[in-house]
Amino acid sequence: MKVEQAERSAIIAGAVTIVAGAALTLFPERCGKPIGMDSHPAALRRIGVTDLATAPGLIAGRPRWPWMFARAALNAGIAAGAVRYREALGDRTALIAAGTFAVLIGIDGTAAKTLRAAGR
């Protein structure tokens, strides 16, 4: 990944994280319903608050790489949570969620590594 791509990835991740974080914080039951997590609003709200805490660093942090590593770690926790709640989610939904977040971990981790190497 090129440095410019990593910078753009961080900004996009920050923007998406703001929207997702606000939705999860304000409307956890509504956000959780499609994936079977509506009965776990506290878990979704914690994810939302953490998203909101990392978003400013992703968008405007100097350096940005620690924030991208933090986002990768958050996504790892979400993937682990999908596996933990497998019975509530159902095997298919849990697998899709864990797989999706595994891809995001790879993207965020690669961007963080690129930004760190560039001192950004």
What is the spatial distance between Cα 15 and Cα 20, in angstroms, rounded to a whole number? 9
Give the pLDDT confidence score for residue 41 in this predicted structure.
93
* Backbone phi and psi for residue 40, each to the nearest 5 degrees, phi listed first: -125, 55
First-residue to last-residue Cα distance in the chain: 14
Q: In one letter, which amino acid is 94?
A: A
**pLDDT-flagged residues of the chain (< 50):** none
The crossing angle, in degrees rounded to 10, of helices 91-117 and 3-26 is 140
What is the spatial distance between Cα 72 and Cα 91, in angstroms, rounded to a whole number? 23
Instruction: State the pTM of this model.
Output: 0.88
| Residue ranges of domains in the chain | 3-117
Give the pLDDT confidence score for residue 8 in this predicted structure.
97
Name every residue whose Cβ is closer than 8 Å to that of residue 4 and which is 6 or more positions away in sequence: none
Give the pLDDT confidence score for residue 37 in this predicted structure.
80
Give the pLDDT confidence score for residue 39 in this predicted structure.
83
